């Protein structure tokens, strides 16, 4: 019988391992580690058939060293207090790693969204928001939720609309939540942000020749064989960007089963197929694996678990054949499995860094909501004219005409999506090399421990600098 793994214990184990490499006193480290507040709410739902059901929800606020706190809301039948507290802690750490000025938060409602109508989900979401508003646990300056597992733009739109109705005097009301539709002051590029961030992190890791040599790979993404677990928003976009960069997607694992093709799987066509049929199974040119979990154990260069936590445990870690495990989900590798994989020479790119693309672009959306100015609006035309003048002067000096298509490409100013993507790429690359510097400084520690050391140092330093002690 498999042992049930507690995600909060896993996060705290990672914290304790990293804390040994810091110089802060025990009491301060305990303050950084502990979840500051968790609120458990219950409320009734009148279902479409007339029956009444009690709904359970949570909101955790892990750290107030920076405000607002930030973190998604997930709808899952397995939600519980420990999971929410663990995910809030991870949010604090990932925000610190990528220099996003938020504390960590997280929310959850214990439902299977597939078993509720759209009208029922709307009533649940609006009541949940009301509960948060009445307890001052949501707002642009206090706590800013975002989408997570089982939620998306629609739920965030309901939250923003409910908050703005309950707090009508707030000019920044739509800054109470991120991941909204663009029409409701969302930001272009948010939907693909986490998956794109996963791609940037993997790409940068594969560029380090020394690290690749140690695990028996050549530098670069091109030609790398990749297995993706989870074809949701994160997994799909990560796979798409990896494939566009030259990687070969040889396996896809989903709830309904796993498929494999040594010749590669066209992710765009697979996504269309699954949208039409509801399953990845029987996709042309692929073979079905005997068991869903077998996909994780395929021989590959890069395994990207992009589903839920605790997917690689002490029970299957010995059978993982990937050389790189890139944690696109939160907590997919347990602490014990992490040790086994490390002993076998597997590189693990940790979740608290790799899936920080979502909160990074949520930060950009929050800034947009506070300033009420679309990115690119102030400078796009100015940059276009300046670049055009420079190219015209170059043509005059050389007497050679620049190709019109090239001229247009050079002089096209960045729009909102371009600027968001650029900011995300810069953030992920900078954070990756900051983690690598910590690894070098402390010697023989893995990337997860280095990332946690970096996070602890930044959060604890903020507590010290602000003097947040009674």
pLDDT in tens, 144-173: 999 998 999 999 999 999 999 999 988 999
Is CATH 3.40.640.10 the classification given to domain 7-192+433-466? no
Q: Please state, in angstroms and rounded to a whole number, the distance separating the CA atoms of residues 74 and 150.
A: 6
Checking if the pLDDT of 373 tops 90, the result is: no
- Label residue 3 by pLDDT band (50, 70, 90): low
pLDDT in tens, 190-216: 888 999 999 999 999 999 999 999 999
Average pLDDT of the residues in 229-256: 94
Q: What pLDDT is attached to residue 393?
A: 86
Q: What pLDDT is attached to residue 356?
A: 94
Give the sheet arrangement for strand 324-326, strand by strand. 287-288, 257-260, 248-254, 225-229, 302-305, 324-326, 347-349
- Label residue 468 by pLDDT band (50, 70, 90): low
Percent of the chain surpassing pLDDT 90: 77
Q: What is the mean pLDDT of the chain?
A: 92
Instruction: Find all residues with CB under 8 Å of 6, minimum gap 6, and list them.
Output: 82, 86
Q: Please state, in angstroms and rounded to a whole number, the distance separating the CA atoms of residues 223 and 255.
A: 27
Identify which of 456, 465, 464, 420 has the alpha carbon closest to the alpha carbon of residue 435. Answer: 456
413 vs 2 pLDDT, higher one: 413
Q: What is the pTM of this model?
A: 0.88
pLDDT in tens, 120-149: 999 999 999 999 999 999 999 999 999 998
Average pLDDT of the residues in 76-92: 95
Q: Out of 33, 70, 106, 180, which one is annotated catalytic?
A: 106
For the chain, residues classed under CATH 3.40.50.720 are 216-345
Checking if the pLDDT of 470 tops 60, the result is: no
**Unique residue bearing structure tokens 């279902």:** 47
For the chain, residues classed under CATH 3.40.50.10860 are 7-192+433-466
Q: Please state, in angstroms and rounded to a whole number, the distance separating the CA atoms of residues 218 and 223.
A: 10
**Unique residue bearing structure tokens 């030609």:** 223
Checking if the pLDDT of 2 tops 60, the result is: no
Q: What pLDDT is attached to residue 1?
A: 35
Identify which of 313, 321, 308 has the alpha carbon closest to the alpha carbon of residue 260. Answer: 321
User: Does 106 qualify as catalytic in the annotation?
Assistant: yes
Question: Which residues, in sequence order, are bridge partners of residue 324?
Answer: 302, 347
pLDDT in tens, 304-357: 999 888 889 999 999 999 999 999 998 899 989 999 999 999 999 999 999 999
Q: Please state, in angstroms and rounded to a whole number, the distance separating the CA atoms of residues 450 and 431.
A: 11
Q: Please state, in angstroms and rounded to a whole number, the distance separating the CA atoms of residues 455 and 221.
A: 28
Q: Please state, in angstroms and rounded to a whole number, the distance separating the CA atoms of residues 349 and 134.
A: 40
Q: What pLDDT is attached to residue 412?
A: 72
Q: For residue 371, what is the enclosing H or E element?
A: helix 357-371
Q: What pLDDT is attached to residue 32?
A: 95
Angle, alpha carbons 253-266-154 (nearest 5°): 65
Q: Which CATH architecture has domain 216-345?
A: 3-Layer(aba) Sandwich (3.40)
| Tally of CB atoms within 10 A around 422 | 13
Q: Please state, in angstroms and rounded to a whole number, the distance separating the CA atoms of residues 464 and 193.
A: 32
């Amino acid at each position: 019988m498999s042992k049930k793994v507690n995600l909060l214990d896993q996060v705290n184990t990672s914290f304790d391992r990293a804390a040994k490499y810091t110089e802060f006193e025990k009491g301060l480290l305990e303050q950084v580690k502990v979840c500051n507040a968790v609120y458990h709410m219950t409320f009734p739902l009148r279902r479409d058939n007339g029956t009444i059901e009690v709904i359970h929800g949570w909101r955790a606020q892990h750290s107030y060293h920076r405000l607002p706190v930030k973190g998604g809301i997930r709808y899952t039948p397995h939600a519980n207090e420990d999971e929410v507290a663990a995910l809030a802690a991870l949010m604090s750490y990932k925000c610190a790693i990528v220099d996003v000025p938020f504390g960590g938060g997280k929310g959850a409602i214990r439902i299977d969204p597939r078993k509720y109508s759209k009208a029922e989900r709307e009533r649940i979401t609006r009541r949940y928001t009301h509960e948060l508003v009445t307890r001052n646990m949501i707002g642009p300056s206090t706590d800013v939720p975002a989408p997570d597992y089982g939620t998306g733009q629609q739920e965030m739109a309901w939250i923003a609309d409910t908050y703005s109705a309950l707090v009508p005097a707030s000019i920044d009301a739509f800054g109470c939540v991120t991941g909204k539709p663009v029409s409701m002051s969302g930001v272009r590029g948010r939907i693909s942000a986490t998956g794109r961030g996963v791609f940037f992190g993997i790409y940068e890791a594969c560029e380090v020749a020394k690290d690749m040599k140690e695990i028996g790979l050549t530098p670069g993404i091109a030609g790398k064989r990749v297995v993706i677990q989870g074809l949701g928003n994160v997994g799909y976009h990560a796979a798409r960007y990896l494939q566009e960069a030259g990687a070969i997607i040889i396996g896809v694992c989903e709830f309904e089963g796993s498929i494999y093709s040594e010749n590669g799987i066209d992710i765009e066509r697979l996504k269309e197929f699954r949208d039409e049929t509801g399953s990845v199974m029987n996709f042309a040119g692929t073979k079905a694996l005997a068991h869903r979990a077998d996909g994780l154990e395929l021989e590959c260069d890069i395994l990207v678990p992009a589903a839920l936590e605790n997917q690689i445990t002490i029970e299957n870690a010995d059978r993982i054949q990937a050389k790189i495990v890139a944690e696109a989900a939160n907590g997919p590798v347990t602490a014990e499995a992490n040790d086994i994989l490390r002993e076998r020479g597997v590189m693990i790119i940790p979740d608290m860094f790799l899936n920080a693309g979502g909160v990074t672009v949520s930060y950009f959306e929050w800034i947009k909501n506070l300033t009420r100015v679309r990115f690119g609006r102030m400078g796009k035309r100015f940059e276009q004219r300046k670049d055009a003048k420079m190219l015209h002067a170059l043509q005059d000096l050389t007497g050679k005409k620049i190709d019109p298509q090239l001229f247009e490409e050079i002089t096209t100013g960045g729009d909102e999506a371009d600027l968001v993507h650029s900011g995300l790429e810069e953030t992920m690359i900078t954070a990756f090399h900051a983690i690598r510097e910590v690894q070098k400084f402390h010697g023989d520690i893995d990337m997860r421990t280095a990332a946690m050391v970096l996070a602890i140092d930044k959060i604890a330093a903020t507590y010290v600098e602000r003097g947040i002690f009674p």
